[in-house]
Chains A and B, each alone.
Chain A
C-alpha cells in the first residue's frame, strides 16, 4: 500500500532563512508526487508536482522539490522564507490510472511558523 511520511509536525524558521520540509513515500512503481499548501481554514493549493523527467521540480511562490528515488524522498525547499509562507504543507503520492481510480495518499502535514 502506498504511504507518505512527513516526519516534522511543526517547524519554525526566521523570515529570510532557508527552508526544507521532508517527505518520504512508499509506492510500488513510479510515483506521482505532489506538494500542497493550506492556509488556516482554507482548502489546499498545489505548489508543485513530479511525474517524470527532471528530478528537480520548480513550483509556485519560489518553492522547489527534488525527487530522490534511492531515498524515496521528495523534499520541499525554499531559499528564503517570507512571513506569508506560514501555513500547513502536505506531501502526497499517487499513481497511474489502472482501470479503477487510483487515489492520492496524503501525509499528516508539517505546520510552518515564520518568525519576524
Chain B
C-alpha cells in the first residue's frame, strides 16, 4: 500500500541534543512538508520541499533543519537551538507543490524533551 511512514512514533530527547525525525513516502509525490502541532494551535508549517535538493522555510523554521536528497525521503532535524521542541510532528506529501493539491499525512512523531 502506498503511504507515508514516520519513525519513531515516540521520541525522547535530553535538552541540548539534536534529534532527527524520519519521513518516507512511496506515493511518488513531488512535494513534502513538515508541520508542528501543539494543543489549540492547529498545524504550523516548519519546512517544505517542492522537489529533490530544494526546500523552503515555512512559518516556524527557526531551530529546525531538513534535507531532500531523495524524492521519497524528507528527514527533519530538531536542533538544540529550538527553544520548545516538545510537540507532535506531522509529515505530509502532495503530488504537486500547490496549495490546491490534497496533502497526505503520516501518523506523526511525538517528541518529548526531558
Interface residues of A (CB under 8 A from B): 9, 32, 34, 36, 41-46, 49, 51, 90, 93-97, 100-104, 106-109
| Given A103-B48, A106-B42, A108-B42: A34 and B102 interface contact (C-beta under 8 Å) | yes
How many B residues, CB 8 Å from partner? 29
Smallest Cβ-Cβ distance to B90: which chain A residue: A43
Contact A41 B108 (CB under 8 A): yes
Residues of A within 8 A of B104 (CB): 46
What are 16 A-B pairs with beta-carbon distances under 8 A? A32-B100, A34-B102, A36-B105, A42-B107, A42-B108, A43-B107, A49-B102, A94-B98, A96-B98, A96-B99, A97-B96, A100-B56, A101-B31, A101-B56, A103-B33, A103-B48
Smallest Cβ-Cβ distance to A95: which chain B residue: B99
Contact A41 B110 (CB under 8 A): yes
Contact A109 B42 (CB under 8 A): yes
How far does the alpha carbon of A9 sit from the alpha carbon of B102 in the complex, in Å? 24
B54, chain A: closest CB distance, angstroms: 9
A29, chain B: closest CB distance, angstroms: 11
Residues of A within 8 A of B56 (CB): 100-101
Contact B58 A103 (CB under 8 A): yes
Assess whether B2 is interfacial by the CB under 8 Å rule. Answer: no
Contact A94 B99 (CB under 8 A): yes
Contact A106 B43 (CB under 8 A): yes
Residues of B within 8 A of A100 (CB): 50, 56
B103, chain A: closest CB distance, angstroms: 6
Residues of A within 8 A of B108 (CB): 41-43
Smallest Cβ-Cβ distance to A36: which chain B residue: B105
Residues of B within 8 A of A108 (CB): 40-42
How far does the alpha carbon of A41 sit from the alpha carbon of B56 in the complex, in Å? 27
B81-110 toward A: CB 8 Å interface, digit per residue (1/0)?
000000010101000111111111111101
Contact partner of A102 (CB less than 8 A), chosen from B40, B41, B99, B102, is: B99
Residues of A within 8 A of B41 (CB): 108
Contact B40 A103 (CB under 8 A): no
Residues of A within 8 A of B96 (CB): 97
Residues of A within 8 A of B58 (CB): 103
Contact partner of B98 (CB less than 8 A), chosen from A36, A97, A106, is: A97
